[in-house]
Amino acid sequence: MTKPGGSIANYAPFIGLRYSFSRKRSRFTAVISLVSMLGMVLGVASLITVLSVMNGFAGELRGRILSLVPHGYVSAPDGVSDWQALGDQLLQAPGIDAYSPYISEKVILASGRSLRGAVLTAIDPAYEQRVSRASQAMVQGELAALADDSFSVVLGGSLARMLGVRVGDSVEVTVPRLTMTPLGVFPRSKRLTVVGLFEVGAQPDTFQAYVGLAAGQKLLGPRRSVEGLQLKTADLISAPQTIAQLADQLPEGYQLQDWSQTQGSLFRAVKMEKVMVSLLLLSVVAVAAFNIVSTLVMSVAEKRRDIAVLRTMGARASGVMAIFVAHGLGLALVGITAGAIIGVLLATNISAITLFIENLFGVKLFDPSVYFISELPSVLMPGDVLMVTLASLALSLLATIYPAWRAAKVAPAEVLRYE
């Protein structure tokens, strides 16, 4: 039989884990232990579920917005006249799959009912479908209707509703560029006919408008020139690196942008929100972890005599400390494991759960007309589960150190004097 004074690994985990689930503890200590474990289960499960839902929302947002936003842009301050030659040159670069000419300007759109700011983008529909999914997002009309030279416009669905217009109605566009007339200098304006509406279920629905390239050159100028080219890369994630590599292949004066620069602030805000929510929910885990302190303090008080007996048998202080660390971690591991399992199950079935609640109570939790989604998106990432598990385990280990240290400081002579 191994002596208590031997290796810590021989007896400390066995005694600590056995005491964690022993029925001989006082009822109050058992209740506190149960509360600690339940708190750990709740904290871990909620953290995994919420992180998965936030991953789902971020993915939905990225997919919807980037369905209209090209992977990158090449532009020049004075415009690009021979844009087809430039585009063919860029197609020779590795990672560039397609290009589309564009002219973009902030304008004011007016109808008989309302006045709204918008971003007017002149495009060639034949090229545009190669770099974005705008044509697939059409809910009324077709993007190809912009191909002729007529002054027609395609509006985002939310923008059309705010203006109070439908397909076939007209809107007045005012461009912040001046036109010389015999009566003086006036802002350039033109009446456009609405020929289509698109919806991606995201912010571009509220401000984006498209006109044909020929009409855009007449409105926005200069004639026979474009502002630049929209680019599509082979991989969205590596698009910033692919676009940056084009700098060596272009003449001086060209400007390069990728989607992380044009939309980066939005996605950085989403990432920061995820971090802050994670820290807030991790505080729930921290509270549950530090409830272990109360459990261990009471356990030390209950087992002072047993500690003294172990010490008189030759157990080292480090061995006693290891016993109570194992005791605390045993409680924590049960809570963390159960919480992780529940969290994974909730994260992978959250859509079915919300649908069940909607059917049970006859309510609509996510109205598509308000939230642009009909169900709660969720994307479970193994890295999030691992991070939550390790963070919870680290907090639990930290919580066991002080009570275990106090147990190691128990003086056998003082305890056994009155026995």
Tens of pLDDT along 234-284?
A: 887 788 888 888 888 887 888 898 888 877 676 777 778 888 888 888 888
| % the chain with pLDDT above 90 | 20
Name the DSSP letter for residue 203.
G
User: What confidence score (pLDDT) does residue 34 get?
Assistant: 83
CA 359, 48, 202, 72 torsion: positive or negative? negative
119-162: pLDDT as tens digits: 999 999 989 988 988 888 899 989 988 877 678 999 998 899 99
Q: Are strands 115-123 and 208-212 parallel, antiparallel or unpaired?
A: parallel
Q: Where are the beta strands (DSSP E) in 305-383?
A: none
185-222: pLDDT as tens digits: 566 788 999 999 998 877 788 899 999 988 888 888 66
Instruction: Give the C-alpha separation, 388 to 384, whole Å.
Output: 6
Q: Phi and psi of 288, rounded to 5°?
A: -65, -40
User: What confidence score (pLDDT) does residue 68 get?
Assistant: 78
Residue 100 vs residues 84, 124, 130, 247, 328: alpha-carbon distances, Å: 9, 7, 7, 18, 62
pTM beyond cutoff 0.75: no
User: What is the pLDDT confidence band of residue 406, given thresholds at 50, 70 and 90?
Assistant: confident
pLDDT score of 326 more than 50: yes
Burial class (CB in 10 A: 0-12, 13-18, 19+), 24: exposed
User: What confidence score (pLDDT) does residue 63 get?
Assistant: 73
pLDDT score of 405 more than 60: yes
377-393: pLDDT as tens digits: 888 999 889 999 999 99
Contacts of residue 353, defined as CB under 8 A and 6 or more positions apart, other chains included, come to 346
3-class DSSP state for residue 15?
A: helix
User: What is the pLDDT confidence band of residue 225, given thresholds at 50, 70 and 90?
Assistant: confident
User: What is the pLDDT confidence band of residue 8, given thresholds at 50, 70 and 90?
Assistant: very low
User: What confidence score (pLDDT) does residue 186 get?
Assistant: 60
- 94-102: average pLDDT: 91
